[in-house]
Structure 1
Amino acid sequence: MSKPMTVASLQMISTPDLERNLDIAQRLIGQAAKLGARMVLLPEYFCLMGQKDTDKLAIAEQFGHGPIQQFLADQAVVRNVHIVAGTLPIASGTEGRVYNTTLVFDPKGQCTARYDKIHLFCFTKGQESYDEARVLLPGTKPVVADVDGFKIGLSVCYDLRFPELYRAMGKVDLIVMPAAFTYTTGRAHWEVLMRARAIENQCYVLACGQGGVHENGRRTWGHSMLVNPWGEVENVLAEGEGVVLGQLDPAKIDDVRNSLPALAHRVL
């Protein structure tokens, strides 16, 4: 059995300025490391919340190369942590379209996992309108990473609404959820969906949201949190920049699964 591991969710209010966002991420990674975090999670679009959807095309990188990926690798080494890097735009080979990609870096600076967001957000209500498919291509495969012996299911934002994705991962110890949930949908559904994914998969969920009013006028829900396998919220930050700290306890996972063996009772 793995030993307990301290994890951190780094809530941001990212801007249209890449360098400014990387400076904020660097400060928060350092803060979390000093608090004892072994793994840190950044939010979706941590590196850029542009004035328009197409702004992300200008900073897209080839997988394995580029200043954003080098920054993440360097921070993992300097802080001696695993970094689950929210999302950044990775080139797809299709003009005008990129992948919205989560990368995992180990303390040696090696990229150990890549997940391309599968489900692309589309929402229209009143003056709010979003359609990620205008500039994004969807991924196709679930990904489970290994972090110090913990099985980490990778997912991003809108994926949260599709429980079949997590069933396809098999048994995991932790689901990570970097997101930029809108204020409207977050207020209605964020916490209940996080708790549902934790309960039905009997694992921890670490959510990392963008959390506030951005320079482009968009308001994100925030409420970065750690939910335990019983569905209890152990720590949460409602709005603003900051660190949500918590601990993954393998004994807690085993206790829940042994006392209520729902995963073993699956029929379909």
Structure 2
Amino acid sequence: MKSKEDIRVSLIQTHLVWENPKANLVEFSRKLEQLYGITDLVILPEMFTTGFSMHPEELASDEKIYKHLKAHAKKGGFAIYGSVMFQEGNRYVNRGIFMRPNGTYTLYDKKHRFTLAGEQKVYDSGKQPVIADYLGWKFNLQICYDLRFPVFARNTQDYDVLIYVANWPVPRVNAWDALLKARAIENMCYAIGVNRTGVDGSGMDYNGHSQVYNVLGEESIEHPWENQNIKTVLLKKEHVLKLRSKLRFLEDRDPFTLI
């Protein structure tokens, strides 16, 4: 795949059908088909096949989900990133899948499990940040609760874009807005957050606020965005490189290593 200086990224902000993988896959297939040939990367919410459920038995995805995403990525000519509950052997993980149109993919298992909902009792934890290379860009793949832990997103890998997919509820959406913007500024990167809308099976309400922030923390989408819709944003590599060259803040990072 050739490098591109400018890439189009499409954010799908939508309701999820509670614990119904079949219905959600049908609906996302319809939405992905609308984007065939007109974008470079499509981002879906966290656990896009089920909603944020703690009941993976009989609901978790297996390797068939890779084939499903591969088919859309190939036909659409774009990459796809989103997370699903995934069964691997006798364990479950909240797995982010970055599928490229050529069928190669990068996997990221959510590191920080949301203890308030008991996620740590159900899903195993990922071990480290994961970078996906695509079209000459480096994407740091993260999931929801990871947003609260800035050290985990610390830009020591010279990545260009930080992605969070989420089921982040209304009562704490102000934190979502503030932290996503902060991650962009402190890491001198684009920060993208895709959150769901609607009400889940536990009665939790979600109002989206999906957003793309640039290196200076400026919004790319009119705020607040709370309805079901698809927004496409143009990312410019020159924006990142020019500001990092002019404002060399990343060179002043405090040295330390995660263990």
Q: Same fold (TM over 0.5)?
A: yes
- 2:235 is aligned to 248
**Structure 1: which 5+ residue stretches go unaligned?**
124-129
Q: Is 1:219 paired with 2:216?
A: no
1: CA distance, partners of 2:211 / 2:54: 27
d(CA) in 1 for partners of 2:254, 2:128: 23
- Give 1:32's aligned residue: 35
1:179-218 equivalences in 2 (<5 Å): 179-186=166-173, 188-218=174-204
Q: How does 1:154-169 map to 2 (within 5 A)?
A: 154-167=141-154
**Does the aligned pair in 1 maintain the 2:51–2:167 contact within 8 Å?**
no
Residue 90 (structure 1) aligns with: 86
> Residues 131-142 of structure 1 correspond to what in structure 2 (within 5 A)?
131-142=118-129
Q: 1:8 aligned to 7, 10, 16, which one? A: 10
Give the alignment of 1:73-152 within 5 angstroms: 73-84=70-81, 86-94=82-90, 97-108=91-102, 110-123=103-116, 130-152=117-139
On the 8 A contact 1:144/1:169 being kept in 2, the answer is no
For residues 146-165 of structure 1, the C-alpha deviation after alignment (integer angstroms, 9 at most, x for no partner) is 11110000000000011111
Amino acid at match of 1:115: Y
CA deviations over 1:107-165 (Å, ceiling 9, x no partner): 12x24200000000123xxxxxx221121111102100011110000000000011111
Secondary structure of the residue aligned to 2:131 is: strand
- The answer to whether the 8 A contact 2:14-2:196 is kept is yes
| Number of residue equivalences | 251
User: 2:45 matched to which residue of 1?
Assistant: 43
Structure 2 counterpart of 1:101, one-letter code? R
Q: 1:215, 1:13 → 2: CA distance?
A: 12
Percent identity over the alignment is 28
- Aligned partners of 1:143 and 1:169 also within 8 Å: no
> In angstroms, what is the RMSD of aligned CA positions?
1.9
1:23 aligns with 2:26: yes
User: Residues 168 and 205 of structure 1: is their aligned pair in 2 closer, same or farther, counting only changes over 3 Å?
Assistant: closer
Q: CA contact under 8 A between 2:207 and 2:227: conserved in structure 1?
A: no
* 1:77 aligned partner, one-letter code: K
Letter of the 1:32 partner, please give it: L
Matched, 1:71 2:72: no
Would the alpha carbon gap of residues 138 and 168 (structure 1) be closer, same or farther in structure 2, given more than 3 Å must change? farther
Contact 2:16 2:198 in 1 (8 A): no
Which deviates more from structure 2 when the two are superposed, residues 207-216 or residues 144-153? 207-216
TM-score in terms of structure 2 length: 0.90
Q: SS at 1:257's partner residue?
A: helix
Q: Which whole-Å deviations, capped at 9, do the CAs of 1:40-69 have from their partners, x for residues lacking one?
A: 01100111127x521x2213244xx22x22
Q: Does 1:235 align with 2:229?
A: no
Which letter maps to 2:236?
D
1:245 CA displacement: 1.2
Contact 1:142 1:168 in 2 (8 A): no
Tell me if the contact between 2:42 and 2:78 (Cα under 8 Å) persists in the aligned partners. yes
Runs (4+) of structure 1 exceeding 3 A deviation are none
